[in-house]
Every structure is written in structure tokens, then in C-alpha cells.
Amino acid sequence: MSSHLRTLLLVLAIVIVASLVSMSLGSHWMSPTSLASSLLGYGHATHEMILWSFRLPRVLLVLLVGWAIAISGVLMQAVLRNDLAEPGILGVATGGNLGVTLALILFGTQIASPWSLPAMSIAGGLLAVLLVCGLAIDRSGIYPARLLLTGVAVSAALGSFTLVLSLNIDRQIYAQALAWATGSFNKADWNYVLALAVWLVVLMPIVLAICPVLNILRLRDENVIGLGLNVFQWRVLLLVLAVALGAAAMAMSGGIVFLGLIAPHLARRLVGPQHGWLIPAAGLMGMLLLLVADTAGRTLFAPVEIPAGIMVGGVGGIYFVYQLMTTKG
Amino acid sequence: MMRQVASWFYCLLFAAALLLLMGLSLRLGPTPTSSWDAWNACFAYDDASDAQFAIRQIRLPRTILAAIIGASLATSGAIMQGVTRNDLAGPTIMGLSSGGTFCLLLGLLLLPGLGFNQAIWLSFLGAGLGYFTVYSVAFLARGGITPVRLALAGTVVSILLSAFTQGLTIYFTLHDEMLYWTVGGIANTSWPQVATALLPALPGMLAALLLAPSITLLSLGEEVAGGLGQRTQLVRTVATLSVLLLTGGAVAVAGPVGFVGVMTPHLARYLVGYDYRKIIPLTALLGAILTVAADIASRTAIDGQEIPLGLFTSMIGATFFIALARRRSSQRGGPH
């Protein structure tokens, strides 16, 4: 058994243990035995209800979102050849939020479902990311720093625009739109889990199929073209894929910044830069980080719940500062 | 000599534009008024008249406050850009606004009966804290301070501080109190607020004007300024104090009003060149024009609804900022 595989299995085991711990924590503590019996279907009726209608879907949704955002980060970093790229900063969150708000204004709340929201969010997120990349590109390529600054500025502008739009809409619609913006999982139910799982089942095989291309894309352009690849087409395809993953996830959770940056970084330390290993490792790290953030956010400060997005933002910001200080350039 | 005349001309032109705009701002609002009412409200006030009352007690303080905020933020941006030699510097980018908001929140938590005067002190403290953090992150980075890295550090520190602010806001359910500070609004301004805002703005502006020649030298580079006999450390210290006075005051009164400080110094430089004796007064005027216009828009864009001031400046300013980031990093060839 290779050492990378062993690492992955170890992380997977940690994720499973963390999920179980998270499921037993809450306003109503469940002992390991009652958790096990409730999961298997012969526990206390109240416990089963709490577990199956609230905690289990929530934990699963967190895991799926963490996985999708982390892998979206890996793809973006590969495509833009920039280790500071990540969906939250490049405008996926604010763009997605704008998409959702616009759709709610235009068509009313009845179209909002776990199935339609990702589509609106993806449309908005895609628009924002293309805008950011388009503005940051010139003939000589994309400068990492410019890309990030452009992302921040576009996010500020889109955020303002969304706020202006939402000030003038129906209060009820506004409350619904706002729920997507804060990055929280307190509305998680099985429909969301199922919807995101379906997206991932469609997208993940494509991602895994193009792993070899990702490894090549990190080389210099001349070499890639020498290998007979159409660099531009691949980049666009991968970027669309990255946004689809990130925006679908954020449609379920709201804006989560920095997760797509940290998870790939940690994963690279564990398994190195080859994407065949990096992608699952980053996905698992994303799951673990978001799960810890969400569990801490809902238990440490109970009865108040701090959205997972804010918890990740706080810790992630410190990590980003550290990266900025230690990476060259 | 030609240049000198031209810059005076610009100052006069924009001062006139500012006055006109402020006059317009007095006229617009739900209570119908005539220009005569506006004139009387300023110079021959009669509190029996509804129109005059609305102008004198609601629109006039608000208009003046908008102008003070714009002038303060713009001037502080101009000083920062001159001293750090960084085109992308400004109160929003360098962590001053988010730092100020963060400390205001702490103040709301720790001092329940937080008054306007304490708020201003906290806001200075926070602005200083944010600026210091950003600067030390960029300073400690491997390879030292570059303009783009400074901007990047500022961005991240701002995101970080806002995450803390949001988290605490949610934990202590202070949404209503914080909404006022975080979106940048000057609705419901009254005269005492104008007075409190002027208190730090006046010495800040004065310091900025006195410093102007030294900033011109400093913007040529540390070696040049030092070689010409300038005490650069002293200038930097006074400049930082002036920036804190100007930004701290504005943030305390209006919350973070985005991007005004980054944008306007560039317009001024475009018009009058690189002499900060001309740039600073012109920047102040342009900043005031910008915020008064944004304030008018924020009151009238949607009928019967107030859009916070900061939203307009963010939308315009962000566009401008992107153009700058493009130019800046292609000139420098980018850090990678």
C-alpha cells in the first residue's frame, strides 16, 4: 500500500470520527451508544428524530459542501497557476448571491428550490468569475496579485449592487435571499443533501477524468502547447467546472471564503502536487475543516449560532496572512 | 506659471461645482422647497416655515456632513498614496475602515451607553489598529513591502476583521446597531454630529495642507527626500496622525464609505500633476463633490427609500480600482 493511500485513509477515518462526534454534539447530547442505536434504527424515538431530521442531513451537507469547495479551489489554482486563487475570493460567492437575488426578484419565491438554486447561483458565479478573469487578463497573462485585487473589487461592486437590489424587494423574498448570503447550514434538510449529491455525482467523474490534464496545465504554456493540448479550451472548461462545483456548493451554504484556499494547501503538504492524489486529499481536508467550523460555530456559542462561513473566514484569514508572508511574490 | 494658474482655476471651478451641488442637495427631498427657502434657511432662518425647518435641521447638516466625510477620506487617501508611494492605497484598502468598524463594535459591546464622542475615539483606535496590522503584515512578508503586496495584505486583513465583526454581531445580536455603521450611511444626521465630525477633520486637514510640500518630496522616494535634508521619519509620523484623524472621524460618523479615498487622488493628479500642494486641496474638493453627489443619489434613486451612501461609492470606486490594479501590476511586471 502506497504511503499516499495510507494518508488518505487516515484522513478519511478522521473525517468519519469527526462526523460522529459532530452528530452527537448539540443542545441535546447523545452518548455513543444511543447515537449508534439511533443510526441503526432502533434507538429512542426523540433521538432518532433529532438525528435523522436535523443532525445527519446537516453533517452530510457540510461534508458535501466542504468537498466541492475544496476541489473547486484545486481546479482554480491549477487553471490560473496561482496558489492564492480560490472560489470565495474570485467572486463565486457574491456572484452566486447576485444570481439568486435576481432570480428571486424576477420570478418570485416559488421557483426557489434546492434544485433551481444551484443553477441560479452557478449562472451568477460564472458571470462573476469570468468578469474577474477577463478584467485581470492581458496579453502577457494573468498576474496573481492583480487577479486577487480584481476579485475583491468585483466582489465589492457586485455585493453593493445586490444590496441595492434587495433593499427594494419584498421583505419575505429579501429574508430568503439573505439566508443564502451568510454561509450557514441551519436550514439543511435531505432535499439539499440530495440536490448537491446529484450535482457532485455528475461533476466528479469529469473532474477525475481530466486529472492528467491538470498535471500538464501546471507546466509552462510553451511545454503544454508542445504536448499538443489546446490550452485555452481546457482552461475555460476547467474554470467552468470549478465554478460549477463552487457555486453549487455555495448555493446550499452561502458564501464561504478561504476554504478553497486552505484545503488544497494542506492537502499538498500531505500528498504532494500530483492531482490524482491531490484532488481526493483536498476534498477530504475541505470536509474536515468545514465540519469542524460548522460544529464549533453551532456548539461553542450556543444558543447563538455563528455561521460556518464566518468561522472559516476568521481562521482562514489568519492562514492567508501567513501564506502571504511566507510565499515569495 | 501656466501650471499654477491652471491649478487655481481647477480649485475655483470645483469649489463652485461643490457649492452648486450642495445647493441642489438642499432642494431635493420629500418636503417641497424653493431656492428662496434654501437661501433663507441658511442666512435668515425662520423656524415657523416647514420648508425652512426641513432644510435647516435635516438637509443642511446632512449635506455638510457628506462633504466633510468625502473631503476627509479623499485627503487621507492622497496622503497615504504619497507616503507609501502606492497607487492602490486608501482607507478601505489599508484596513482603516474595517479596523474602525471592528473597534466600534467592541465599543458597543463593552460600553452599552456608547455616545457619539466615545464612538469617535474608538474609531480612531480601530483605524490605527487596522493600519498597523496591514503595514506589519506587508513589512514582515518575505521580500519586503511592494505596492501590490501592501494592497493584498490590506484586503485580507479587512476580510479578516469583517469576519470577526460579523461573528460578534451575530453572537450578540447587534444587527440593527451595526447595519448603520457597516453600510456607510448618514441618514438622520443632526448638527451635533456635524460638530463632532469637524473636530478631528479640521486639524487633520490642516496637518495635511502643512505636510503637502514634504509629501511631494517623500513621494519621490525615501533616498531623494532624505538626501534633500528632509526628516522623513517625522513626516511619516505626522502624516500617519493626520490620516488617522481624517479616517477615524469619517468612519465614526458614516461607517466605511468605500473607495472614495483610492479614487479621487488619481483624478486630482491627472488634472494638476504630482505636486501635493495642489493635489491635496483639489482632492478634498473632489472627494466632497463625490460624496455629496452619492448622497443625493442615495436619497433620490428609489422613491421613498434610503440607499446607504457607501453602496454608491463602492460600486463606482470598485470599477476604478480594477482599472488601477490592471495598470499598476502591468507596469511593475507583477510579483511572480
pLDDT in tens, A99-110: 888 887 887 767
**Cell numbers representing residue A268 in the block:** 499538498
Element (H, E) at A138: strand A137-138
Residue A185, pLDDT above cutoff 70: yes
Q: How many CB atoms lie within 10 A of CB A13?
A: 10
Lookup result for grid cell 496622503:
B79
Residue B281, pLDDT above cutoff 70: yes
Selected for mutation to probe chain B from A86, A138, A143, A218 (highest B CB count within 10 Å) is A143
B148 contact residues in A (CB cutoff 8 A) = 145-146, 149
Distance CA A264, CA A278 (A): 7
CB contact under 8 A, A317 and B156: yes
Q: Which residue has the higher pLDDT, A285 or A276?
A: A285
Q: What is the mean pLDDT of residues A246-272?
A: 87
Which pLDDT score is estimated for B334? 37
**Cell numbers representing residue B189 in the block:** 444626521
Q: Which domain holds residue A161?
A: 3-326
Is residue B287 helix, strand or coil? helix
The CATH fold of domain B2-328:
ABC transporter involved in vitamin B12 uptake, BtuC (1.10.3470)
Distance CA B217, CA B283 (A): 18
Put simply, whether A307 touches B (Cβ < 8 Å) is: yes
Q: Which residue has the higher pLDDT, A140 or B82?
A: B82
Band of residue B195 on the pLDDT scale cut at 50, 70, 90: confident
Any idea what the CATH number is for the domain that residue A114 is in? 1.10.3470.10
| pLDDT cut 70: percent of chain B above it | 89
A145 contact residues in B (CB cutoff 8 A) = 148-149, 151-152, 329, 334-336
Q: How many CB atoms lie within 10 A of CB A213?
A: 17
pLDDT digits (tens, 9 = 90+) for B17-28: 999 999 888 888
Q: Which residue has the higher pLDDT, B250 or A174?
A: B250
Closest CA to A316 of A136, A66, A128: A66
Band of residue B1 on the pLDDT scale cut at 50, 70, 90: very low
Which pLDDT score is estimated for A289? 93
Is 0.90 surpassed by the pTM of this model?
Answer: no
Q: What is the mean pLDDT of residues A74-80?
A: 87
The interface predicted TM-score of the complex, written ipTM, equals: 0.71
Is residue A12 helix, strand or coil? helix
Count of pairs with CB atoms under 8 A, one residue in A, one in B: 141
Lowest mean pLDDT across A13-22, A57-66, A228-237, B130-139: A228-237
pLDDT digits (tens, 9 = 90+) for A288-326: 999 999 998 888 887 777 888 888 888 888 887 787 777
Q: What is the mean pLDDT of residues A231-244?
A: 83
A98 contact residues in B (CB cutoff 8 A) = none
| Strand A137-138 relative to strand A141-142, pairing | antiparallel
Nearest CA in chain B to A163: B311
Q: What is the mean pLDDT of residues A173-180?
A: 63
Lowest mean pLDDT across A325-329, B5-9, B251-255: A325-329
Domains held by chain A: number: 1
Q: What is the mean pLDDT of residues B168-195?
A: 72
Nearest CA in chain B to A317: B160
Domain boundaries, given as residue ranges, for chain B:
2-328
